[in-house]
Amino acid sequence: MSITLDHVAREVNGVPYIRDVSLTLERGTLSVLLGPTLAGKTSLMRLLAGLDKPSHGRVLVDDKDVTGFDVRKRSVAMVYQQFINYPSLTVYENIASPLRVQGRPREEIEQRVREASRLLKLDPYLSRTPLQLSGGQQQRTAIARALVKGADLVLLDEPLANLDYKLREELRTELPRIFEASGAIFVYATTEPSEALLLGGNTICMWEGQALQMGATPRVYRQPDTLRVAQVFSDPPLNTIGIEKSGSKVVYDGRVEAPASGLYASLGDGAYRVGFRAHQLEVANGAAGQHAFATEVILTEITGSESFVHLRQPGIDWVAVLSGVHEFQPGDHLQAALSPDDVFVFDPSGRLVAAPASM
């Protein structure tokens, strides 16, 4: 089975929710919709499911036009950020409910519920009601119910967003195994780049209703087509600065001059935008090389294993992620340095022209 969106767009009261999206999803694949809130992830899922009809374009299933077909005529299951279970039913009955609606034989229901229960580690809880479960167990119940339905398309709309850290990490490690075992088309929406990297598969970067780039997740992360894609796929936010290349030198933001080494060496003369992720920025108390900048500490956030250091120089704010605990104070003066081998370089239109060989 395959699902294709062919130049699909959706407007509501003249406001564009989805803008000319074309993509094809194949059976047995996982596609992550990655983008900030209001990027169009849920709107795109609703079009895939048949909950909404596109204003323009077509939806195809195995090359058959199903645009406008009611969701009840499609083989779709959906799990929302707010997990939904029937409070008066046991976990077993919750999972079995779509199979009972389909009129499946009792033996088949038993087999499929037990398989989903084992897959999602729910065996000890089958006789409990949802109110006797933790948040993670309730969400696993909702996912199990979606899986046993046997749908060709399973949509997960930020399903882990409301869970605590430990539960999110537990389910994140389980989900790729579950996806692989199912064989359905999975589409998973998230605002978190780290979640996309953990899940793997393909990533579709979304921004203001546009699908900016789609491809294997590691490739999109390492080779963003545009500055906007790199910004969507960076958390903390992507650090940027303008440069002017002239002969054997570059000038950063009209102030700091340095040799045109590394990736800069192959650039033609002209203006560019440089982007680099927080872990690629080095911080030192003293001199830090030729591609270095005098900055002031605005804030330091310590997580335990890492420190997020917010830095400012005239007109520019950056974030550096340092391993370990670093107790910098607001107002401290630090040198922030980057390597010209570890940056993304974009032309004035925002298109990628150079990227690190490895990340």
Peptide bond into 237 cis (omega under 30): no
pTM: 0.90
- Which pLDDT score is estimated for 74? 85
- Which pLDDT score is estimated for 244? 97
Beta pairing partners, 308 = 301, 321
- Which pLDDT score is estimated for 287? 61
| Burial (0-12, 13-18, 19+ Cβ within 10 Å), 2 | middle
Q: Answer whether 48's CB lies under 8 Å from 187's CB.
A: yes
- Which pLDDT score is estimated for 18? 98
pLDDT tens string, the chain, 359 residues long: the values are: 899 999 999 999 999 999 999 999 999 899 999 999 999 999 999 999 999 999 999 999 999 999 988 887 788 998 887 778 899 999 999 999 999 999 999 999 999 999 889 888 899 999 999 999 988 888 889 888 988 888 899 999 998 877 777 777 877 887 887 787 778 899 999 999 999 999 999 999 999 999 999 999 999 999 999 999 999 999 999 999 999 999 999 999 988 999 999 999 999 999 999 999 999 999 987 666 789 999 999 999 998 889 999 999 988 999 999 999 999 999 999 999 999 999 999 999 999 999 998 76
- Which pLDDT score is estimated for 359? 62
DSSP string, 22-86: EEEEETT-EEEEE--TTSSHHHHHHHHHTSS--SEEEEEETTEE-TT--GGGS-EEEE-SS----
Q: Answer whether 119's CB lies under 8 Å from 144's CB.
A: yes
Q: Answer whether 271's CB lies under 8 Å from 265's CB.
A: no
CATH number of 239-354: 2.40.50.100
Beta pairing partners, 333 = 296
**CA–CA gap between residue 322 and residue 123 (Å, rounded):** 42
Answer CATH for 2-232 from 3.40.1280.10, 3.40.50.720, 3.30.43.10, 3.40.50.300: 3.40.50.300
Amino acid at 240: T
For the chain, which residues make up each domain, given as ranges? 2-232, 239-354
Nearest to 270 by CA among 348, 342, 341: 348
